Structure 1
Amino acid sequence: MTIKAIFLHGTVVIDAYLVAALGETSLAAVGLAAAIAGFVLGAIQAFSGAMQIRTAQAFGASDPVFLKSALAAGMAISLTVGLVGLILVLAFGGSIIIAMAPSTEVAGLAQEYLAVFCLVILGEAIGQCISSYLNGCGETKLPLYSLCLSVPINVVSSVVLIHGYWGLPAFGVAGAAMGSVIAVVVQVAFLLHRLVRVAGHLRHVPGWRQPSFLQSLNRHLGFSLPIAATFLSAAVSTQVCALIYAKLSLNEFAAMTLIGPWINVTGTVGMQWAVAAGIIVAQLLGQKEQEQVLDRFLASAWRGAFIASFGVALLLLAVCLSANALYGDLSAETRSIVLAFLPILLILPFPKGSNAICGNTLRASGDTIYVMNLFVAAQWLFRVPATALAVLYFDVGAVWVLSIQLWEEVLKFPAFHRRLLTGNWKKSVISG
């Protein structure tokens, strides 16, 4: 799961790296367009994250009717979210870009990128749902294989289409989006093929978890909404902050656009460890394991989270120290800002990783409302207002703006750990 997530976020890093050769203007355009599309992709991933836990509960209970209901309901919800999001992006995306872009040139390039990238949204609606189902069933290698197939295709096609090799036109930033479209088509085709092999027998399983599919869909939605709201709030608040970053100077915005994907890529080491821990907790609860088993597992998972956080800090250290070599085409000022981020990046992984263990364990036990409230409060009562004030009112530098992410994790730390240490999550009863 970690390798798969690194591949996924690594695609964004690769796109940014390839586009960086075109200069700060093109890089800023990709960052702005990605922020718009990120609202919808975040919503898709939010419901996929909820489906992952739901599937794990069904898999732990060894209930084929439960598995069939989770898959069908999850796919229906994911496709609906993707289609509604696509319509909203097509209707309002251009206006938002014009309002937030630092220049007309950036706005034009961002609109070109977004117009093509919209096709990725439909592919992700299907692909994320299938990947979550497979992860919940323990088939975590298959989503990884899909990215091992699609990422090289994305890189090669993006390079060719950006620069116009092999006799093709040079599409610039739009070429990066075209490469992503080609890759997601290949990925979804592979996942559909593997899903038929893994879950094809569910077509012959009669009935639904509830008396009808509609009732099963409502039950699935009721379970998913608090989890999805948590993920969606995180995605939307992140994209709102990304739009606010566009009001920084061009060099500062370019630096934030560069470091954001790296934080996501390296952070997947800790985040996916926590997600995997949550899946196993859900399976153990579905199997009605004793509290001692749950305690032993969680203690080992927490030790692993600390080691993962240390590894993330080392990776971010390497990225910052290599900025001059990685991004030699960018200005010295942009590269110096990336290096200045280092003190924050060395501390951030530790509270973030421990909070993630708490959040995923509580979600797996069904304590989804508390997790949602804590995340939403931290994001919308602190992170977004603090970012807006820092950038739009106080006009502080990018380093201080990035530090807001660290302070958000520090604020959540006591509430998460106090809730988990009460031990009530171990008494959870999984229902359909």
Structure 2
Amino acid sequence: MKRFKRTESLDAMAKKGYIQYLALPIFFEQFLQLLVGNIDQLMISSYSAEAVAAVGNSNQISSLVIITFSFLCTAATVLISQYRGYGDAKKEHQMYALSFSLNLAIGIVVSSALLFLNEPIFRAMNLPEESMASAHSYMSIVGGTMFVQMLFLTFAAFLRSNTMMKESMMISIAVNLLNTVGNLLFINGYLGMPALGATGAALATMISRILGLAAIIIVYCKKVGIPFLPHHLRPFPGVQLKKLLSLALPGACEPLSYNLAQVVILSFINVFGLAAVNTQIYCNLFVQLSYIYTRALSQASQVVVGRLIGAGRKEDGERTMSHVIRTAVLTSFCITVAVFFLARPLFSLFTENPEILALGTTILGIDIIRGFPRSFNLIFVNALHTAGDVVVPVAIAICSGWIISVAGGYLVGVVLNMGLIGIWVAVTVDETVRATIMYTRWRSGRWKKRNLVED
């Protein structure tokens, strides 16, 4: 296969600051997606505390599905980027078709499971009985149409592979606005609409996601226009499927394990009572604000480093990651400190409960310490995955998460009766152990021996 020259483009990508430039629209897109996913929390908080717990537990399950599934999209982004860097248009087109078909099939299966099995899942999570009906209604709607969000993420990955971050960001803005309007109409019943509470929040989320999917498909067709037709899968690209799964499945095991662990941890917290549950829900929202830019840097670096590695410029990829981690740590620290000092006004957006205000402020103080290792994990785990070094980082993350976060959290939080604070201390220790190992592995350079683009 002839390798097309993309030297000028790659030189520009290797320059300091290019990843930060790419990361900005990803940051705004994910910030708006965070609002779409959590604006329900803000607007439902005026409805009832029970509804907050219902939506919060539901969103934990949704996050488990979406973040795990996103690794299929991430793997597609990596391979499409590397095939573009390598100059193999045929395999690039096959990857579009393969990703779309696989993601659609998985989306339908997952949606069916969330529609019919959500109630026993909530009972296994020890969800307070007073929140059960609202949680069932919310998840039946949002979970039952989860395939829509999965397809949206698929097309967003396609745009990202072509460095079209701004387009998906603008669509996310529109989705966020639509979701907000829908919440105003359906949660508390404005303009003559019935007050539906959690069910109304679910309807608003579903409608906005469907319209967002339609919009991003139109943008893809106009801006990228690479077709993925049945003939692209004949003969079936088994080698490409194997590469996609070899990146996605081990990579997905990590977020699957992590988010499943979060579900188990939330089941511990549910036992502490409604105040602890809602504190955890609000803190998770604020903490996501503190690392969302780091996650955007990580995703932007996958595109750039993927192309550099695909073109054989691994030293440039390594230097690029050194710039990225410095930016990630600095921005994460500044944001976590700002969130801590703004804790009381932030919590006041949702509640005036003094127990939640005091406990939540303490938790956000712990998160300042946690922010440092979290930045290293977000950056270097994705960098190792991009280079094809997947299995060992995943195994370490799974073992550390369940031994330290889950078992340690149960010991410190439940057995030693330190409650929510004890659980956050255990999670911080887990994050620190994993960050030390991931950084050491990246610096060892073992990933340079791997090659994803050559058969």
Q: TM-score range by the shorter chain?
A: over 0.9
Find out whether 1:264 has 2:252 as its counterpart.
Answer: no
Contact 1:237-1:380 within 8 A present in 2 as well: yes
Structure 1 CA distance for aligned equivalents of residues 432 and 283 of structure 2: 20
Is the contact made by 2:111 and 2:145 (CA closer than 8 Å) also made in structure 1?
A: no
- Listed one character per residue, the Cα deviations across residues 15-71 of structure 1 (whole Å, up to 9, x for unaligned) are 111111123211111112222333332332232222222222223223222221222
Cα distance in 2 for residues equivalent to 1:157 and 1:253: 26
What is the deviation of 1:324?
5.1
Residue 119 of structure 1 deviates from its aligned partner by 3.9
Answer yes or no: is 1:400 the counterpart of 2:422: yes
SS of corresponding position for 2:260: helix
Partner of 1:187: 212
Tell me whether 1:220 sits opposite 2:244 in the alignment: yes
Map Cα deviations across residues 107-140 of structure 1 (whole Å, 9 max, x no partner). Answer: 1111111122124402111011111122122111
Return closer, same or farther for 1:218/1:295 CA change in 2, 3 Å cut-off: closer
The aligned residue for residue 261 of structure 2 is: 237
Within-5 A mapping of 1:280-429: 280-289=304-313, 291=315, 293-323=316-346, 325-327=348-350, 329-429=351-451
The alpha-carbon distance between structure 1 residues 66 and 111, as it changes in their structure 2 partners (threshold 3 A), is same
Contact 1:255 1:334 in 2 (8 A): yes
Q: Tell me the distance in 2 between the aligned counterparts of 1:143 and 1:318.
A: 32
Asked if 2 retains the 8 angstrom alpha-carbon contact of 1:136 and 1:279, the reply is yes
Runs of at least 5 residues in structure 1 that lack an aligned partner in the other structure: none
SS at match of 2:271: coil
The answer on whether the counterparts of 2:412 and 2:426 sit within 8 Å (CA) in structure 1 is no
1:114 aligns with 2:127: no
Q: 1:248·1:391 contact (CA, 8 Å) conserved in 2?
A: no
Q: Deviations over 1:193-250 (max 9, x none)?
A: 1111233244589756x95235533442233211222232223222332233222221
Note the alpha carbon deviations across 1:341-361, whole angstroms, 9 max, x for none: 132121221111022222121
The 3 A distance-change label for structure 1 pair 115 and 175 is same
Describe the superposition over 1:134-177 as per-residue Cα deviations: whole angstroms up to 9, x where unpaired.
21221111221110110010011012100111111110111111
Query: Residues of 1 paired with 2:238 and 2:213: CA distance?
Result: 26
Q: How many residues align?
A: 429
Match in the other structure for 1:254: 278
Q: 1:274 aligns with which of 286, 298, 318?
A: 298
Q: Quick check: 1:20–1:330 contact (8 Å CA) kept in 2?
A: no
For residues 197 and 205 of structure 2, the distance between their equivalents in structure 1, rounded to whole angstroms, comes to 14
2:10: which partner in 1? Answer: none
Partners of 2:383 and 2:195 in 1: CA distance = 48
CA RMSD, Structure 1 to Structure 2 (Å): 2.3
TM-score by structure 2 length? 0.88
Deviations along 1:325-346, whole A, 9 cap, x unmatched? 323x442211221112132121
Amino acid across the alignment from 1:115? S
Q: Rate the CA distance shift 1:105–1:69 in 2: closer, same or farther, 3 A.
A: same
CA apart distance, 1:383:
1.5
- In structure 2, runs of 5+ residues without a counterpart are 1-25
Say yes or no: does 1:23 pair with 2:48.
Answer: yes
- Code of the residue aligned with 1:339 in structure 2: it is T
Change in CA separation of 1:219 and 1:302 when aligned onto 2, cut-off 3 Å:
closer
Q: 1:289: Cα distance to partner?
A: 1.5
Cα shift at 1:391: 4.5
TM-score by length of 1: 0.92
Partners of 1:240 and 1:384 within 8 A in 2: yes
For the 8 Å contact 1:73–1:220, the answer to whether it is kept is: no
AA in 1 matched with 2:169:
L
- Percent same amino acid at aligned positions? 19
Work out the CA distance in 1 between the residues paired with 2:337 and 2:442. Answer: 28
Residue 198 of structure 2 corresponds to which residue in structure 1? 173
How far residue 301 of structure 1 moved from its aligned partner, in angstroms, is: 1.3
